[in-house]
Amino acid sequence: MIAELQLDLARMRAAPRDKGPVRMGRVVACDGGLIEVAGLPLPVGSLGVIENGNGSECLAEVIGFRAGHSLMMMLGDTMLLRPRAAVRSLGAPGEVRVGEALLGRAVDALGHPIDGGPRLDLPHAWPLAGQREGALERASVSRPFDCGVRAINALATMGVGQRLGIMAGSGVGKSVLVDTIAGHAVADVTVVALIGERAREVSDFVGRHMAGARRGGIVVVAVPADHAPNLRLRAAQYACSVAEFFRAQGKRVLLILDSLTRVAHAARELALVLGEPGAARGYPPSALAAITRLVERAGNSARSGGAVTGIYTVLADGDDANDPVVDTARAILDGHIVLSRELAQRGHYPAIDVPASLSRVMDDLVPPDIARAARSLRALIAAREANRDLVLMGAYRTGSDPLLDTALARSEAIDQFLTQTRGEAEPLATSHAALAALMAKVDA
């Protein structure tokens, strides 16, 4: 306790002091979670403290302005809000605090610990919206990335600085696959953003990954589903800011955002509150644009030599592959992994639909023989799955399709290659060696 007080005192001494008077505003209206504040013109994205009559305070964020009034949304409940409540600004507009102390910790969207540990000393400021770089300042993807999953390493090889989407409906295994990658991927720092998840899943994830040897290299930013939409959106932006901070130090960062769809849901709620009309299936244009802005923050930095490799889960509402969020993400990402409900129902883990999945940078990362072997195996899997019903009905005659004959003859070996025990890691080199060995048996 004394150490924490000393840390707070040192932080207060180092904090800049405002020489002028403190500007205060007043709450003049509250409608559907939207708060109008008069007398306090703040930039969009700024935080404010609303002081209630009983001595309590609550946080709110500026999301717009109208007729000279700042439009704010609470970062919590509005039950204690009262008319004419005083409002004052908090912190530097558009900036968040980051630092090395985040390693090994679980925090919320404001950088406050949620793991029961001590307060964090975060001396560095970073723009919440990120530092935009020119297109030519982004280095190309030229080094392979080891994610620890055999099917991805061999058939959709990732690269350092790539942005990859994991797309599936609900309950197909996105979170389990992300858990495996977070626990075994090769990276200097892993930043995991759990946006809109169940509180139990957040607790389980922190319990699994904050107790092992990898704890010192992981940061968890979590905001469960029952929190305000602006807090959920801010958590995704804060996780990207943390990843950018470590990339600026020349580190290879893995950013996992689960899930991009719930970020779009939060952005949609904010846009609808502000009166923006819905367009594609109720998603306003700004909600889909928020996805693009988040994804573009990942990548390689030619200036620092660091990299942010992004893995984003995308929930396909109703298993619709043409959902607006899925379609927008697929267009901007450097590759996607599609999970199949049918494979999951067969007990096939990971339930990766290989023919529908791809990495757009794989051919630039692997030797030509591995690329050829991956294409050949993809063709075998596609032939087997396309004719599965025909084979099960007994309507297929052996010899009609040599490619299908080969796929059926090696079906057991293919399934053994594609499946992997949950929580088990398969290094990149081992995955490529296993692929080459499998295809050598097929060609024999």
What are 387-419's pLDDT values in tens digits?
A: 888 888 888 888 888 888 888 889 899 999 999
Once rounded to an integer, what is the mean pLDDT over residues 43-66?
84
Residues 306 and 248: beta-carbon distance below 8 Å: yes
Burial degree of 345 (CB within 10 A; 0-12, 13-18, 19+): exposed
More confident residue, 349 or 1: 349
Residue 14 lies in a domain: no
HSE-up of 251 (CA within 13 Å, CB side)?
19
Once rounded to an integer, what is the mean pLDDT over residues 84-108?
89
The pLDDT tens digits for 116-156 are 888 888 999 999 888 877 777 788 898 999 999 999 999 99
> What does the pLDDT read at residue 159?
95
**Among candidate residues 93, 120, 140, the one where a domain is terminated:** 93
Residue 54 lies in a domain: yes
Full residue range of the structural domain in which residue 139 is found: 96-363
If asked whether residues 358 and 376 sit together in one domain, one would say: no
If asked whether residues 133 and 63 sit together in one domain, one would say: no
In this model, does residue 1 exceed pLDDT 70? no
Residue 16 lies in a domain: no
Once rounded to an integer, what is the mean pLDDT over residues 109-119?
88
**Among candidate residues 306, 341, 363, the one where a domain is terminated:** 363
Residue 147 DSSP one-character state: -
If asked whether residues 331 and 343 sit together in one domain, one would say: yes
> What does the pLDDT read at residue 8?
65
> What does the pLDDT read at residue 13?
61
Residue 162 lies in a domain: yes
Query: What CATH number should be reported for the domain holding residue 117?
Result: 3.40.50.12240
If asked whether residues 79 and 136 sit together in one domain, one would say: no
> What does the pLDDT read at residue 132?
77
Residue 1 lies in a domain: no
Check the CA dihedral 420-425-428-433 and report its sign. negative
If asked whether residues 34 and 160 sit together in one domain, one would say: no
If asked whether residues 236 and 298 sit together in one domain, one would say: yes
> What does the pLDDT read at residue 444?
64
If asked whether residues 202 and 57 sit together in one domain, one would say: no
| CA gap 125, 95 in Å, rounded | 6
In this model, does residue 201 exceed pLDDT 60? yes
More confident residue, 210 or 388: 388
| CA gap 260, 240 in Å, rounded | 12
Average pLDDT along the chain: 87
In this model, does residue 20 exceed pLDDT 60? no
Number of domains in the chain: 3
pLDDT-derived band of residue 378, with 50, 70 and 90 as boundaries? very high
List Cα–Cα distances, 5 to 11, 91, 105, in angstroms. 10, 20, 20
| CA gap 43, 253 in Å, rounded | 30
> What does the pLDDT read at residue 45?
85
Locate the DSSP E strands across 320-406: 335-338, 358-359
**Among candidate residues 49, 74, 93, the one where a domain is terminated:** 93
Query: What CATH number should be reported for the domain holding residue 67?
Result: 2.40.10.170
